[in-house]
Amino acid sequence: MDLHAKTLTELAAGLDSGDYLSVELTQALLDRIAAHDEKLNAMITVTGDEALAAAAKADADRAAGNAGTLCGLPLIHKDIFCTRGVRTSCGSKMLDNFVSPYDATVVERLAAAGAVMLGKANMDEFAMGSSNETSYYGPVRNPWDLDRSPGGSSGGSAASVAARFTPAATATDTGGSIRQPAALTNTIGIKPTYGRVSRYGMVAFASSLDQAGVITRTAEDAARLLGVMAGFDERDSTCLDEPVPDYAADLGNSIKGLKIGVVRQHFDEGLDADCGARVREAIAALESLGATAVEVDMPNIDLSVPTYYVVAPAECSSNLSRFDGVRFGHRAKDTGDLFDLYCRSRGEGFGDEVKRRIMTGTYVLSAGYYDAYYLKAQQVRHLIADDFKRAFEDVDVIAGPTSPTAAFKLGAKVDDPITMYLNDIYTIGANLGGFPAMSIPCGFVGGLPVGLHLVGHHFDESALLRCAHAYQQETDWHTRCPEGFA
Ligand code: GLN
């Protein structure tokens, strides 16, 4: 079997038994990226030399009996994570020239475990988008149909895993950016509980919603990586000091008796009927594995999208004020006074969607509108979180569709922000309440992948991973590979 087709877990076994070296594996994947990425545009930066050096070190460590848990295993980082000495663009012209002086905690922990970074993945600008079309570096194409979007904002991470450039990629999720691209590319995407993984060194979009996670092809691989990434970090004051379970060891436990809540409001007229059918079949498959499904009612869940589009822009308008053309990032040429420097640097450095969010955010936070919009949105956010908490008194996980449709054509929604925002209608609630959530490949509609969405109670990523693993033992959707990328 070709190395690129193997999962992280299979590769770990191959490296352990000496079937190949990490240097060989790394070179094979770099060659694959070089051969195929022109079609996809999934990568912003490929770090070939650094990757081969890290692989050589991993091989030496392994030979010396010092192999970490991810020793010599390849991965790609979303270009939102700071990487020391390597450009960290966040998909923006603003940071096109930014070389980070330090590593994000996620990057540091994965590297310390021996992982080899192949490069940095394309993404929507500052993670604002659902199609990867807001990237300064151009859209990413979906390996399942090159005329379609892989979703966003972690479109590069998802496309690179789907196209077998890498068995795993890091990603981030503020309203759905790990899960929606995972659904649209037939990959697994997990967003842990808010506070589970450190946000230190992850460029901030909306700090109370942002969370780092991973995209892989199997639950087993996701568990392996999450175990390394998760855990307290004193450099992020919102990172919680909670013990991290052994996700990988937990995977084998049965889902017999697990109670699944199916949200009534998530099977409404907005959902493509065929996608809905795939999701219902997946829930039935989980039932046949011993779980029971009951309908749950979430009366406030329909307010998720409008609530999010007040809270997220408000936080982004504050976070992005740091990009002023003075300390780092893009600086306009030949400016007059300081105000002119700020205005032109920001005017040139940010794209349209980012500006739309900053303007919306500034508006909802302004003195005259704060109570009407921002305060109201924070109140509704609590109601939505309470809907989940009430449901979790009865059920262990909540299941439904990840996305209302399968992958859509590039260009189809760019001129219609509201339609674009509705992509995340089923995913945003988990961010507003800080709950862990995941998308799992669950079938196809017209040759395009569909995702099953699972939400768990705070800190119960294990329940999601266990469900996904059990489902993947019984189904083979996740093993299907897009034509031309086998
Ligand atoms: N698509 C949503 C947005 O545009 C979510 C993005 C994300 O999760 N980073 O804000």
CB-count exposure of residue 47 (10 Å: 0-12, 13-18, 19+)? buried
How far does the centroid of ligand 1 lie from the alpha carbon of residue 178, in Å? 9
Rounded CA separation 456/465 (Å): 10
Nearest atom in ligand 1 to the alpha carbon of residue 312 is 10
Answer whether the bond into residue 153 is a cis peptide, omega within 30°.
yes
Q: For residue 351, give the nearest of 93, 172, 149, 97 by alpha carbon.
A: 93
Among the options 154, 177, 198, 462, which is catalytic?
A: 177
The CA-CA-CA angle for residues 218, 188, 312, to 5°, reads 150
Decide whether any atom of ligand 1 lies within 6 Å of the 154 Cβ. Answer: no
Q: What's the pLDDT score for residue 269?
A: 86
Decide if 153 is catalytic: yes
CATH classification at residue 9: 3.90.1300.10
Rounded CA separation 260/244 (Å): 23
Q: Give a yes or no: residue 316 inside a domain.
A: no
Q: Which two tokens stand for residue 395?
A: 């059920």
Decide if 318 is catalytic: no
Distances (CA, A) of 377 to 204, 364, 421, 422: 20, 10, 16, 17
Ranges of beta strands (E only) in 89-178 are 116-121, 168-173
Decide whether any atom of ligand 1 lies within 6 Å of the 173 Cβ. Answer: yes
Mean pLDDT over 444-449 rounds to 98
Decide whether any atom of ligand 1 lies within 6 Å of the 128 Cβ. Answer: yes
| 3-class secondary-structure state, position 24 | helix
Mean pLDDT over 1-28 rounds to 96
Residue whose token pair is 């399942």:
144
pLDDT digits (tens, 9 = 90+) for 298-326: 999 999 999 999 999 999 999 999 999 99
Q: Give a yes or no: residue 45 inside a domain.
A: yes
Q: What's the pLDDT score for residue 1?
A: 57
Buried b / exposed e along 146-160 (16+ C-beta atoms within 10 A): eebbbbbbbbbbbbb
Decide whether any atom of ligand 1 lies within 6 Å of the 127 Cβ. Answer: yes
Q: For residue 175, give the nearest of 461, 431, 480, 459 by alpha carbon.
A: 431
How far does the centroid of ligand 1 lie from the alpha carbon of residue 20, in Å? 39
Q: Give a yes or no: residue 42 inside a domain.
A: yes
Q: What's the pLDDT score for residue 375?
A: 96
Provide the residue type at 33 as one letter: I
pLDDT digits (tens, 9 = 90+) for 205-264: 999 999 999 999 999 999 999 999 999 999 999 999 999 999 999 998 999 999 999 999
Share of the chain above pLDDT 70, in %: 100
| Cβ atoms of residues 65 and 91 within 8 Å | no
E strand or H helix that includes residue 443 = strand 437-445
CB-count exposure of residue 370 (10 Å: 0-12, 13-18, 19+)? middle
Decide whether any atom of ligand 1 lies within 6 Å of the 174 Cβ. Answer: yes
Residues spanned by the domain of 56: 3-255
Residue nearest to atom 5 of ligand 1 (CA): 175
Q: What's the pLDDT score for residue 140?
A: 98
Provide the residue type at 255 as one letter: I
The CA-CA-CA angle for residues 402, 381, 397, to 5°, reads 40
Decide whether any atom of ligand 1 lies within 6 Å of the 431 Cβ. Answer: no
| Cβ atoms of residues 263 and 254 within 8 Å | no
Among the options 89, 135, 153, 403, which is catalytic?
A: 153
For the packed helices 22-40 and 8-16, what is the interaxial angle rounded to 10 degrees? 150
| Cβ atoms of residues 126 and 174 within 8 Å | no
E strand or H helix that includes residue 213 = strand 211-216
Q: What is the pTM of this model?
A: 0.98
Q: What's the pLDDT score for residue 168?
A: 98
Mean pLDDT over 467-483 rounds to 97
Average pLDDT of every residue of the chain: 97
pLDDT bin (cut points 50, 70, 90) of residue 135 is: very high
User: Which residues are 188's β-sheet partners?
Assistant: 216
| Cβ atoms of residues 171 and 215 within 8 Å | yes
Mean pLDDT over 428-450 rounds to 98
Residue whose token pair is 């990172």:
239
pLDDT bin (cut points 50, 70, 90) of residue 268 is: confident
Decide whether any atom of ligand 1 lies within 6 Å of the 176 Cβ. Answer: yes
Rounded CA separation 463/468 (Å): 9
Decide whether any atom of ligand 1 lies within 6 Å of the 312 Cβ. Answer: yes
Pocket test for ligand 1, best of 128, 211, 311, 418 (most atoms within 8 A of CB): 128
Residue 107, pLDDT above cutoff 70: yes
Rounded CA separation 186/42 (Å): 16
Q: Give a yes or no: residue 314 inside a domain.
A: no
Q: Which two tokens stand for residue 162?
A: 């789907």
Q: Which two tokens stand for residue 322?
A: 């740091």
| 3-class secondary-structure state, position 164 | coil
Among the options 22, 78, 135, 345, which is catalytic?
A: 78
Distances (CA, A) of 405 to 15, 266, 311, 420, 450: 39, 13, 25, 12, 8
Q: Give a yes or no: residue 261 inside a domain.
A: no
Nearest atom in ligand 1 to the alpha carbon of residue 209 is 8
Pocket test for ligand 1, best of 170, 173, 424, 426 (most atoms within 8 A of CB): 424
Decide if 78 is catalytic: yes
Task: State how many domains the chain has.
Answer: 1
Q: Give a yes or no: residue 23 inside a domain.
A: yes
